[in-house]
Structure 1
């Protein structure tokens, strides 16, 4: 063995193997948590934690196979982006490609081990274990990987392999269900963005308008303390704010000059049209989109439309999208106006605090103004493209 092993053991807090009773309790505790979780990345973290405790290792990671990109990816902690590696990387790549479980108790003596990660991080891998995970059809969908056994013996055994296989069998169905749920949700999100872009394109808006509104809404929702799930729901729902414009005649929607009172009344009906289109859905995102479509033109002082409601009687989703949409609309060229300079928009938002807009949201808007501007710059409209499509 290499001479760093003694140093490793001194730094690690050594633990004993679990008794059968401890193992059973651990499994029940984690299975209960995993079965109540629908988010794939959260399940990956829970499964990794369960595997680490079951085999008494220093680290445990659950990798999933991305066949489209020929990569393995994992979520090792909440709040950070996924890590991605080539599908044939290291021991875990070998386990997935061969379909075989692997135990290596002297990592550096085995050619399947890739020491590059250790060189980059300063971590010392003593031993490693990897096990392919299969779905109900028997197809490999990922792998468990455990690193560095932290018992006094310091060696992975066939018993550890049985334990990690047990963890995979208990939690694999929940993981597969969550992956299917996420695929359905991702498809729903894609359809929503496509529908929103179709609605905006009728009034010569760009797809980037709905992307900017989505990200502005996310920042504002985070800033006033909505939970992570609600933030994501609103980010997906807010692009649908003007979906009702599909029902507005072109002569009004694309009119370059000022609308008559009658024409403006017809234009305002897009909020009710959008609501009527979406209100019957039982899907969380579409129900939220119905609220956004209906209330994003309401004003905090009660002088908006269609229902002239005020203050916190306006749903928070509507209040947030109002700020996001108006900021983007004023800063963009439209058929009926040129974009306003930023200074003029800032002054208007200060004046409309507590009038058009929820004052708490305006405070968040200015507190996170640098992030707002970064999004505006990142999702700039492609003027050359617009010229081509209009021509």
Structure 2
């Protein structure tokens, strides 16, 4: 876990956080129907300080007035409460109001009574949630100071515990959100937002991905900015040396060198290492003064960021390996079937466009793009004599060829991986038709899985504009006419409309990923 260097915790008198701390007050509420009690108490406490904060005194002369004050002032540290006021048990009823109706368990309640017979100490301390019981006659100025100081200290400790509890809840919630992210830039931006929310920080924040080792080739030994806000908003996608002030760069490098969090004046820099030799570094500027609880939360948060960052890098590595394996497998299958070399790459790109046109979540778009190349994996089981036959297939041969859809499904369905599962669905359903005349299951309309409908259109579009062993390529005009005729018959009407609306993009993909002997007409 990253730690804070003691000699780096420098707080100057001019720091904004110190000014806020000096201006903060401990609020005490006196509830008593005797004016002299208010006067004496204020005289005894008016010049006292605790933890650098002065005491602010509020007054209420009845339980009713006290309820109004308590409802309007949520941060009252201590209530000095009389028992007998507008009724013999007005003070005791106010205790119940504070604890049971306001659900306030933090404010310390000191019961003061001039008539102990009306409220016996043992009975009151047992039955009511108060923190001290004093007879007014025994409360000298010194004893009053002692009682109030002890109560403020207890209140401060309770508030610190509550602050820690809320902070830990935010960290747990943040970890859940960050672990759902799949790309570095959104992860970095999310980490900034979560740390800002955790500590109620300002708007100037920057997240960097830096290497603790100068020999890491992919980073060139540099710190690269992934996300920023406020004065750092334009720094993203640049190196720290290019885009950040020299003082900030110095702090980033100091943190990477010492592997410790750093808090100087109004700036905070956190260090979150991973087991992959890469560290996540967050830097905040213009922040408030942080207390011990804040710093402890920052350390916990930084450790969680490191874990989430490591998991993201690991997940990206696994997904990249999975994508590469799927691509190599798909290309091997296409090579065996003698189809065009970039067919599966183009089908994946077309499927991506169609999925985005439907407004699918980014995770689903990525899934269909990665799984689409597996659509013809079942052809690996088709005999070469059928797969490579240049002439028209006989009915018997065509029946064998059609089995590749179910064969592909059976090959892929055993994998628990979401992308491969999607590939199994696509392999089985990409020859189904909107009107129910397809195979192998004769599914109709929206009963056909969406991924199957997407790849069906992408696959046919590419097949039509590409030269195959059994056909010449079609012109774009011929492709357009055929797909329009098959709208609502072979293809999902919504997907056809998306294709026509994005035809320029489809043509661009077909050109950029064209095989060497493929030429695409531009005119419709």
Match of 1:149 among 262, 286, 292: 286
Within 5 Å, which residues of 2 pair with 1:98-177? 98-99=257-258, 129-135=268-274, 139-146=277-284, 148-149=285-286, 151=288, 164-177=298-311
By how many angstroms is 1:279 displaced? Answer: 1.1
By how many angstroms is 1:378 displaced? Answer: 2.2
**Could you say which structure has the greater relative contact order, defined with CA pairs below 8 angstroms and 6 or more residues apart?**
1
Give the structure 2 partner of residue 270 of structure 1. Answer: 404
Segments of 5+ residues of structure 1 without an aligned counterpart are 1-14, 107-126, 385-391
Deviations 1:44-100 (A, max 9, x none): 3332112234272323233234744115455539xxxx9544487634762465245
Match of 2:326 among 161, 180, 192: 192
Give the structure 2 partner of residue 94 of structure 1. Answer: 253
Alpha-carbon distance between aligned partners in 1 of 2:20 and 2:402, rounded to the nearest angstrom: 69
- 1:45 corresponds to 2:204: no
SS of 1:141's equivalent?
Answer: strand
SS of 1:69's equivalent?
Answer: helix
Alpha-carbon distance between aligned partners in 1 of 2:203 and 2:268, rounded to the nearest angstrom: 12
| Total equivalences in the alignment | 341
RMSD of Structure 2 on Structure 1 (CA): 3.3
Give the structure 1 partner of residue 364 of structure 2. Answer: 230
Compared with structure 1, are the counterparts of its residues 47 and 381 closer, same or farther at alpha carbon in structure 2 (3 Å cutoff)? same
By how many angstroms is 1:196 displaced? Answer: 1.1
SS of 2:504's equivalent?
Answer: helix
Q: Check the 8 A contact 1:95/1:132 in 2, yes or no.
A: no
Compared with structure 1, are the counterparts of its residues 69 and 248 closer, same or farther at alpha carbon in structure 2 (3 Å cutoff)? same
Give the structure 2 partner of residue 64 of structure 1. Answer: 209
Deviations 1:281-333 (A, max 9, x none): 11111111001001101111111112222111211111110000000111111
Structure 1 length normalisation: TM-score? 0.76
Alpha-carbon distance between aligned partners in 2 of 1:218 and 1:145, rounded to the nearest angstrom: 36
Compared with structure 1, are the counterparts of its residues 134 and 100 closer, same or farther at alpha carbon in structure 2 (3 Å cutoff)? closer
Match of 1:212 among 306, 323, 346: 346
Give the structure 2 partner of residue 35 of structure 1. Answer: 176
Compared with structure 1, are the counterparts of its residues 99 and 287 closer, same or farther at alpha carbon in structure 2 (3 Å cutoff)? same
Compared with structure 1, are the counterparts of its residues 103 and 251 closer, same or farther at alpha carbon in structure 2 (3 Å cutoff)? same
Larger Rg: 2
Give the structure 2 partner of residue 116 of structure 1. Answer: none
By how many angstroms is 1:382 displaced? Answer: 3.0
Deviations 1:315-366 (A, max 9, x none): 1111110000000111111111111100100011110000110111111111
Structure 2 length normalisation: TM-score? 0.58
